[in-house]
Amino acid sequence: MPGKRSVIVYDTTLRDGSQGEGVSFSLDDKLRLFRAIDSLGVHYIEGGWPGSNPKDREFFAALRKTGKRRARLVAFGSTRRPGVRAGTDANLRLLAESGAEAACLVGKAWDLHVAQALRTSLEENLRMISSSVGFLKRRLAEVFFDAEHFFDGLKSDPEYAMAALDAAWRAGADAAVLCDTNGAALTRETGEAVGLVRRRFPGRLVGIHCHNDIGMAAANSVEAVLQGAGLVQGSLNGFGERTGNADLATVIPVLELGSGIRCLGAANLRRLTNASRFAYEMAGLPRRDFQPFVGASAFAHKGGLHVSGISRNRRTYEAFRPELVGNRRRILISELSGRASIIARFPVLARNPGRQREALDEIMRLENAGYAFENADASLELLILRLLGRHRPAFELLSFRASSEERAEGLRLSEASVKLRVGGEEFHTVSEGPHGPVSALDLALRKALSPVYGFVEALRLTDYRVHIVDAMAASAASVRVVIQSREGRDGWGTLGVSENILDASCQALVDSFQYLVMRHGGPKAARGLRRPDRA
């Protein structure tokens, strides 16, 4: 669209995001995540603080040796120390020598912080900002100034908060970023502050950096851009201090799809869901299914009325098409589902009302017994195919056994054995390992199946969760085990329910292997029966 407004996207996942509780990136994690974020087409990526730790220094050194990148690399640091010349400040010199194209300096914009955190005078703080920005501007192409606690400073002493911005811009800063460091600003306040700064400093590039302490970071970031901020900072999935930073996986599509402001462009936007999920993997954190746009539940429909509406016109219950952000629509089947849901999820049932009713009745019966198919799409598909008489099992589990024992010197080992019937022949395998009976059971199943279906070795179990079905029954309660599996980029969920956690786990494992073989063409995918090692 000619004349379409755009905004600069500045990613802080590798620096501010790494400060979130439970987040710990190795050097390799940071390099891999940098490449994933770079592939999105963001304009700047803040790589870390070279003066704070050896890992960040190694990160910048490693990037100096790599090839082309789309984003500009930013090194983060603080203004010089009080009473120290900029040229002799060790942290500033590390920023200048980092190999980054740009630097971002954080400085104080709140008089309370100047007095109590820095323990210096208001005038010296302004000199610290000016001399630090000037020092780096003479050595790097671009310098950004993060006005820390700007919104608190604006309430306490508005003229001093403005003076901090003025000091940075006069020294050559390319942008001044208004930081809601305590994350407590309201949306109206954020918009008014941006408007005030833009009127006071016309023609200057204003940025926004919001924390999420009261849950307003994304909304405040969007409002700031709508009021004229030309640069928005945030992290993927909102990783960051305390309750996190503004989530770029929300802010970007709201601006691009909801407000018509270009951030990444349509092609890059379609990579957003994959990038978000990769960031969770690198951070070692579970995904948030209810995350807007990129979460697994963002375009999931469960109620019968919703599914019926979606089947006629997706706009009835979807603000945006999931494909625009690389996500997908999911139709959830449960005891709340009606015929529209079951038909939308399994079109093969459309011409068979009797089977529709049978499928819904069986799902209701199973859910009453503790099953829940929302995160177990593969188990649900296998169930429907069995009801239709269209599933030919790849194998039959005849029996299994699993146990754990503590051996000499505190070594704990688990052992599992399985008996399977595959293609008319029976196989019996045993496996052991140090990671518990469910892991041993998984190994035993693979050992039995791999000589027949070699591709089972590529199956990865990515998540294992246990839910208590009836907590009031205490130790006699049933448990629901949900396992997430993956082959390449494709993933699926399976489940099992039992009063015995090993039995429930075995059900879920068996369904996962059955589904895998079905994906490869069913039992005909066998390479010719070759008996595995006997127990």
Q: What is the pLDDT of residues 73-93, one digit of tens each?
A: 999 999 999 999 999 999 999
The mean pLDDT of 251-272, rounded to a whole number, is 96
- CB 267, CB 248: distance < 8 Å: no
Q: What angle do CA 6, 76, 28 make, to 5 degrees?
A: 95
- Give the SS3 label for residue 21: coil
Residue among 507, 516, 491, 514 at smallest CA distance from 371? 507
What is residue 338's predicted lDDT score, i.e. its pLDDT?
64
Q: How far, in Å, CA of 495 to CA of 482, rounded?
A: 4
Residue among 117, 42, 54 at smallest CA distance from 81? 117
What is residue 195's predicted lDDT score, i.e. its pLDDT?
98
What is residue 414's predicted lDDT score, i.e. its pLDDT?
86
Q: How far, in Å, CA of 143 to CA of 135, rounded?
A: 10
Q: Is the predicted pLDDT of residue 146 greater than 50, yes or no?
A: yes
Of residues 436 and 103, the one with the higher pLDDT is: 103
- Give the SS3 label for residue 302: coil
What is residue 534's predicted lDDT score, i.e. its pLDDT?
34
% of the chain with per-residue pLDDT over 90: 62
Average pLDDT across the chain, whole number? 89
Task: State the pLDDT confidence band at 527, using cuts at 50, 70 and 90.
Answer: very low
Task: State the pLDDT confidence band at 339, using cuts at 50, 70 and 90.
Answer: low
Read off the amino acid at residue 181: T
pTM: 0.76
What is residue 473's predicted lDDT score, i.e. its pLDDT?
54
Of residues 111 and 363, the one with the higher pLDDT is: 111
Q: Is the predicted pLDDT of residue 472 greater than 70, yes or no?
A: no
What is residue 531's predicted lDDT score, i.e. its pLDDT?
38
Scored b (16 or more CB within 10 A) or e, 162-171 reads bbbbbbbbeb
What is residue 462's predicted lDDT score, i.e. its pLDDT?
86
Q: How far, in Å, CA of 438 to CA of 213, rounded?
A: 39
Task: State the pLDDT confidence band at 365, using cuts at 50, 70 and 90.
Answer: confident
In angstroms, the Cα distances linking 10 to 66, 207, 382, 402 are: 21, 9, 45, 51
The mean pLDDT of 502-530, rounded to a whole number, is 80
What is residue 2's predicted lDDT score, i.e. its pLDDT?
43
> Which of 277-286, 328-337, 375-384 is predicted least confidently?
328-337
Which tokens sit at 417?
A: 């054995």
Residue among 231, 213, 230, 210 at smallest CA distance from 221? 210
Percentage helix, strand, coil for the chain under 3-state DSSP, each rounded to 5: 45, 20, 35
Which tokens sit at 325?
A: 């952000």
> Which of 67-71, 175-179, 328-332, 481-485 is predicted least confidently?
328-332
Total Cβ atoms within 10 A of residue 441: 25
Q: What is the pLDDT of residues 99-141, one digit of tens each?
A: 999 999 999 999 999 999 999 999 999 999 999 999 999 999 9
Structural domains of the chain sorted by starting position, each given as residue range(s) with its CATH number in brackets: 8-283 (3.20.20.70), 300-366 (no CATH), 396-525 (3.30.160.270)
Range of 21-35, 162-176, 327-341 with top mean pLDDT:
162-176
